[in-house]
Amino acid sequence: DNFSRGTMWQVILILLCISILPTQTIICPSSCMCNEKGAVKCVGNITDVPKTMPNSTYLLQLNDTNVRVLNEQSLANLPLMLRFSVSFSSLSAVHPRAFYVAPQLLSVKLSFNNLTSLPPRVFSPLVSLEQLHLDGNHLESIPSVMFEGLARLIELEMSRNAIVHLAPDVFSSLSSLRFLNLGKNYIRELPPTVFHSLTRLQFLILYNNQLERIEAGAFDELANLLELKLHHNQIASLPSEVFWALGNLRMLTLSSNRLQGVPEKTFYYMPKLTKLTLYSNPLQSLPDQLMGQMPLISDLYLYGTNLTVVPWNLFANMSGLQKLSLHLNDKLRELPQDLFCCQPKLQRLSLKANDLQVLDGDLFSNLTNLNVLLLNDNKLRSIPKNIFRHLSNLNSIEINNNHLNTLSDEVFSSNVGLRAVTLGGNPWDCTCSIRDIVGWIRRHEGVVSDREGVKCYSPQHLELRKLYSLQDEEFSVCDTTPSSYLPTTPPIEIYVSPSNPSSTPSSSIPFRTTTSIITVSPTTASQTSPDIVLFESDNPFQLFTEALPPPQGDSYFLSFPPFYDRLVVEQGQKFIHNNRMKSWVYIWSLSSDSASAGLIMALHILLVAAGVTLILATIYGMYRLQQSINEDFWEVASGNMLSNQKQKSTDRL
């Protein structure tokens, strides 16, 4: 009994407790969502801050509403509210005293509205403010007192406005600022000292403006800066030493400007840099001393420049590079031998779509960790046999779309891990010298990923044949005393005259020089005239075409523009005949080997003898004919005279 009475009292007690506990009633306005912690989010057809807000509101977000004006009392009676935002609404006016009723605010966000101006001291009551977002409006100018008193502001976001001009002291009170975004405005110039009070700044974003230059000393006080973004401006020159104070910088972007040059040592004293962009600038040249120690940079892009050459030590201080894209520089002709001296970690190197014509045999010697090498879309005419010998980790290489006509099969002999090679789009010369690489392609089926595009360009009868389809028998001619065809005197050069511009070669042919030079090897010194070409190739159909510097000395030069740039020389010594067909020049000559020469000589004597016999026979025939004509004439003539006289006498009678 006692026990049951005791439990009954306990139950009653618990029930009492439950009923006494304060049940908080949330009055949430329509169009809004409120959570019990005090976050309120409103959307839709409201035109002002709702009047009946939960007392506990600490966060109010009005998003995609019809709020046009923040008036003097809009934020009244929300003493706990710390963060307030109106975004993607049509807000176009803020009352000068709108924030006087809410000085406790830490965040104000007025992003993506229709604000064209703001009252000068509208934010001044907000002495605790940490975060101010005004991005995505139409603000054109910022009064110099706009941020006065915001000594605690950490983040100021003003991107995507129409700001053209900044007052020199506009940021002077923002001594706590860490983040400043002024990107996507129309700022033309920066007052030299405008950032000088921002000594704690870590992120300064100025991209997509109209900046034409940077004043010397502009960043001198920003020793804490981590990121500086200056890309997509019109910056044509940089003062020297402009970044030297930025010893903590991690990221610097200067891409897509108008820099034609960069002062010496510009990127010194930034040892913590991990990202630097310079691409898409019409850079003409770079100084010999440019990059200081920056061992943490792992990626570098340098493309879209007008560089024709780069200093050999350009990357020497970037010892941590893993990915380097030095490509799409359509005037970059050659690379210094030691350019990749000091990047032991490099894994991916892109040199594609430059204007490279030759590569030094030791260019890649130190890149022992390289996985991917892109050399495609250049003008390489040959690849040194040993150039890839140290690249034992290479697994992919692209050399398609160059001017290669042959390649040694030993070129990849050290690259044991090679999985993909592209070779197409080169004018492969399918004569004896191609034999080895054809064999290599067959043995490495599946490695040549563009195998169907690897085609002969010459000789003509093999044009467009796929290299892998060439059979061993087709090279049997190469086994027969090839040494007898070797040149015995140094090659001479001749130019083939281009004369008819209408028949330039088709687009698949990479030779577009206005003049083509042909290197040929004379077999004997028996030329009769310097203008006539007497030579012999090591193959009856050998094709020589090369674009070389203008001719000198004995070169036989004719003028532009190109008519044909391919010359076919048939074996022999004596110049017999030439012909033009479809932009090819054929020169036939008589074989020099004695058997056929003897045969032809015999035929010649026979022909002469036959000719003489025929002439004599004709003369005799003529003589006989004349004799018989003379006899007949006198007979006929005397007969005619008699009958004529008879006729005349009859007429008279």
Ligand X SMILES: *[C@@H]1O[C@H](CO)[C@@H](O)[C@H](O)[C@H]1NC(C)=O
* Interface positions, 317-356, toward ligand X (CB under 6 A): 317, 330
As a whole number of angstroms, the distance between CA 51 and CA 427 comes to 79
H or E stretch covering 205: strand 203-205
- By CB under 6 A, name the one of 58, 179, 268, 495 that touches ligand X: 268
CB of 349 to ligand X, least distance (A): 19
Question: Could you tell me the two tokens for 375?
Answer: 């050399």
Q: Least separation, in Å, of the C-beta of 267 and ligand X?
A: 8
Question: Cα 27–30–36 angle (5° rounding)?
Answer: 40
Give the nearest distance from C-beta 133 to ligand X in angstroms: 39
Which residue has its beta carbon closest to ligand X?
292
192 exposure class (CB count in 10 Å sphere: 0-12, 13-18, 19+): middle
363 backbone dihedrals φ, ψ, rounded to 5°: -55, -40
Residues 6+ apart with CB under 8 A from 523: 487, 488, 489, 535, 536, 573, 592
Look up residue 630 and give its two tokens: 């003379």
* The only residue of 289, 337, 347, 578 in contact with ligand X, by rule CB under 6 A: 289
- Residue placing its CB nearer to ligand X in the complex, 116 or 313: 313
Question: To the nearest whole angstrom, how small is the minimum distance from the Cβ of residue 304 to ligand X?
Answer: 9
Which of residues 306 and 504 has its CB atom nearest to ligand X in the complex?
Answer: 306
**Which of 298, 313, 347, 408: binder of ligand X (CB under 6 A)?**
313
When asked if residue 76 is in the footprint of ligand X (CB under 6 A), the reply is no
Task: For 441-510, give the secondary structure using H, E and C.
Answer: HHHCCCCECCHHHCEEEECHHHCCCEHHHCCHHHHHHHHCCHHHHCCCCCCEEEEECCCCHHHCCCCCCC
Q: Nearer to ligand X by C-beta: 308 or 579?
A: 308
**Backbone torsion region of residue 75, taken as left when φ is above 0, otherwise alpha when ψ lies between -120 and 50, otherwise beta:** alpha
Least spacing, CB of residue 310 vs ligand X, in Å: 12
Minimum CB–partner distance for residue 315 and ligand X (Å): 9
**Residue 321 beta carbon to ligand X: minimum distance, rounded to whole angstroms:** 14
Nearer to ligand X, 31 or 293 (CB): 293
In the complex with ligand X, the residue whose CB is nearer, 49 or 339, is 339
In the complex with ligand X, which residue's Cβ is closer, 306 or 337?
Answer: 306
Distance CA 530, CA 495 (A): 12
**Binding flag, residue 260, ligand X (CB under 6 A):** yes
Q: Are 462 and 568 in contact (CB under 8 A)?
A: no
Angle 387-392-395 (CA atoms, 0-180°, nearest 5)? 95
293 forms part of the interface with ligand X (CB under 6 A)? yes
> Does 316 interact with ligand X (rule: CB under 6 A)?
yes
Contacts of 603 (CB under 8 A, 6+ apart): none
Q: Does 300 bind ligand X (CB under 6 A)?
A: no
Q: Which stretch binds ligand X (CB under 6 A): 290-298, 353-361, 461-469, 628-636?
A: 290-298
Q: Provide the minimum distance between the beta carbon of 330 and ligand X in the complex, in angstroms, as a whole number.
A: 6
359, 337 contact by CB (below 8 A): no
Q: Is 312 in the site for ligand X (CB under 6 A)?
A: no
Stretch that binds ligand X, among 29-37, 209-217, 282-290, 544-552 (CB under 6 A): 282-290
For ligand X, which is the closer residue by CB, 267 or 563? 267
Please identify, using beta-carbon distances, which residue of 290 and 462 lies nearer to ligand X.
290
**Min dist. Cβ of residue 268 to ligand X (A):** 5
Question: In angstroms, rounded to a whole number, what is the distance separating the alpha carbons of residues 307 and 355?
Answer: 10
Q: Among 146, 291, 332, 543, which residue sits at the site for ligand X (rule: CB under 6 A)?
A: 291
3-state secondary structure of 596: helix
Q: Is 330 or 450 the residue whose CB approaches ligand X more closely?
A: 330
Q: Please report how close the Cβ of residue 273 comes to ligand X at its closest, in angstroms.
A: 11
Instruction: Tell me the helices (H) and strands (E) count for the chain, helix number first.
Output: 3, 27
**Quick one: which segment of 19-27, 63-71, 313-321, 426-434 binds ligand X (CB under 6 A)?**
313-321
Candidates 60-68, 106-114, 312-320, 374-382: pick the segment binding ligand X (CB under 6 A).
Answer: 312-320
Nearer to ligand X, 148 or 330 (CB): 330
Which residue, chain included where needed, has tokens 């030299």?
Answer: 192
**Of 293 and 449, CB closest to ligand X:** 293
Instruction: Spell out, one character per residue from 393 to 412, where the chain touches ligand X: x when CB under 6 A holds, - when not.
Output: --------------------
Kind and range of the H or E run holding 576:
strand 574-581
How many residues touch ligand X under the rule CB under 6 A: the total is 13
Cβ neighbours of residue 253 closer than 8 Å, sequence gap 6 or more: 207, 228, 229, 230, 231, 275, 276, 277
Q: Which of 197, 210, 306, 347 binds ligand X (CB under 6 A)?
A: 306
Structure tokens belonging to residue 623: 């003589």
Residue 207 sits at the vertex; the CA angle it makes with 204 and 208, to the nearest 5 degrees, is 150
For residues 387 and 356, give the distance between their C-alpha atoms in angstroms, rounded to a whole number.
15
Query: Could you tell me the two tokens for 362?
Result: 């030791």
Strands of the sheet containing 566-569, edge to edge, are: 566-569, 584-590, 574-581
Q: How far is the CB of 195 from ligand X (least distance, A)?
A: 25
* 210 makes contact with ligand X (CB under 6 A): no
**Cβ proximity to ligand X, 280 vs 545, nearer residue:** 280
Nearer to ligand X, 282 or 320 (CB): 282
Give the footprint of ligand X on this chain (CB under 6 A).
260, 268, 282, 289-293, 306, 313, 316-317, 330
